[in-house]
């Protein structure tokens, strides 16, 4: 406990780092996955190609991707941008399929109704497919959030600081308090992200709350 008391400031600093290293890629990844997923949802061949390559991307070990990043995008070795970009790639890989499936989750008769009323392609996306896809997309986002929080901790090995540092420190010294703090911190952060996404999805889907007549 005395260890914890003495390191509170540092812990919050690391937690904050961790939050944005995991959170920013979530937002950027969603912004990229939306158009890609939309394209995939409209074209079977694009769907197969995108979902397959996304699956392959996701199998690249995170450490390898972190290390390769400077070579690919020409950043400095210690630049946290490496982590942000790598995490964005993972997020996109997870979300492309989810977005495509979410946009296709609109019932057939609703989709036909939209066409019959004279919706254009873009308007249908914004006013019908996207709002109705929110529950599916949000569930994918929850998975991505938790997975990001856990993968980011590996970035300590390439010198980007966040809660993973506590794990490394605890492991090196065979000292429990930082180890436990790091694990609990990651857990709380994952829960926080999850809560925010669930809350956001709820706000965006008021029609799912009314109950039935």
Partner 1 sequence: MIRFDGVTKTYADGTTAVDDLSLTAPTGKITVLVGPSGCGKTTTLRMVNRMIEPTAGTILIDGQDTAAMEPAAMRRGMGYVIQHAGLFPHRTVLDNIGTVPRLLGWDRRRTRERSLDVLERVGLSPDLAGRYPAQLSGGQQQRVGVARALAADPPVMLMDEPFSAVDPVVREQLQDEFLRLQAELGKTILFVTHDIDEAIKLGDQVAVMRVGGHLAQMAPPARLLARPVDDFVADFVGRDRGYRALGFRPTPKLPLRAEPTLVVGESPSDMSGQWCLVVDDRRRPLGWVRPGDLRGPVTVADLNRGGTVAVQGGSLRATLDAALSSPSGRGVIVDPTGALVGTVLAPEVVALVEEDRVTQAEAGSSP
Which has the closest alpha carbon to 102: 135, 141, 55?
135
Q: Report CA-CA distances (Å) from 86 to 54, 59, 111.
A: 13, 13, 36
- Residue 74 or residue 206: which is nearer to partner 1 going by CB? 206
Largest Cα span, the chain: 68
| Distance (Å, whole) CA 9 – CA 31 | 33
Least Å distance, CB 126 to partner 1, is: 12
In whole angstroms, the minimum distance from the beta carbon of 124 to partner 1 comes to 10
**Inter-residue contact 177 to 4 (CB < 8 Å):** yes
Cα–Cα nearest to 90, from 134, 20, 141: 141
Given the rule CB under 8 A, which residues bind partner 1?
A: 107, 109-110, 112-120, 123, 128, 131-132, 205-207, 210-213
Q: Crossing angle for the helix pair 2-42 and 44-59, nearest 10 degrees? A: 160
Residue 83 DSSP SS3: helix
| Distance of closest approach, residue 181 Cβ to partner 1, in angstroms | 43
**Quick one: 8 or 117, whose CB is closer to partner 1?**
117
Query: Which of residues 21 and 132 has its CB atom nearest to partner 1 in the complex?
Result: 132
> What is the closest distance, in whole angstroms, from the C-beta atom of residue 130 to partner 1 in the complex?
10
Instruction: Identify which of residues 133 and 178 has a Cβ nearer to partner 1 in the complex.
Output: 133
In the bound complex, what is the minimum distance in angstroms from residue 68's beta carbon to partner 1?
A: 42
Question: Cβ closer to partner 1: 129 or 165?
Answer: 129
């Amino acid at each position: 406990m005395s260890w914890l008391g003495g390191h509170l400031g540092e812990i919050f600093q690391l937690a904050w780092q961790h939050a944005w290293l995991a959170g920013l890629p979530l937002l950027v990844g969603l912004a990229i996955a939306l158009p890609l997923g939309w394209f995939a949802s409209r074209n079977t061949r694009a769907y197969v190609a995108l979902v397959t390559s996304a699956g392959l991307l996701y199998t690249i070990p995170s450490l390898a991707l972190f290390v390769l990043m400077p070579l690919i995008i020409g950043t400095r070795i210690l630049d946290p941008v490496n982590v942000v970009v790598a995490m964005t790639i993972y997020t996109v890989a997870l979300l492309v399929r989810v977005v495509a499936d979410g946009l296709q989750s609109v019932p057939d008769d609703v989709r036909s109704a939209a066409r019959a009323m004279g919706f254009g392609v873009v308007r249908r996306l914004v006013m019908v497919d996207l709002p109705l896809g929110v529950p599916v997309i949000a569930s994918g986002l929850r998975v991505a959030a938790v997975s990001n929080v856990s993968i980011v901790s590996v970035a300590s090995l390439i010198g980007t600081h966040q809660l993973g540092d506590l794990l490394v420190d605890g492991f090196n010294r065979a000292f429990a308090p930082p180890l436990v703090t790091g694990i609990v911190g990651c857990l709380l952060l994952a829960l926080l992200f999850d809560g925010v996404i669930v809350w956001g999805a709820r706000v965006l889907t008021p029609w799912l709350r009314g109950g039935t007549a």
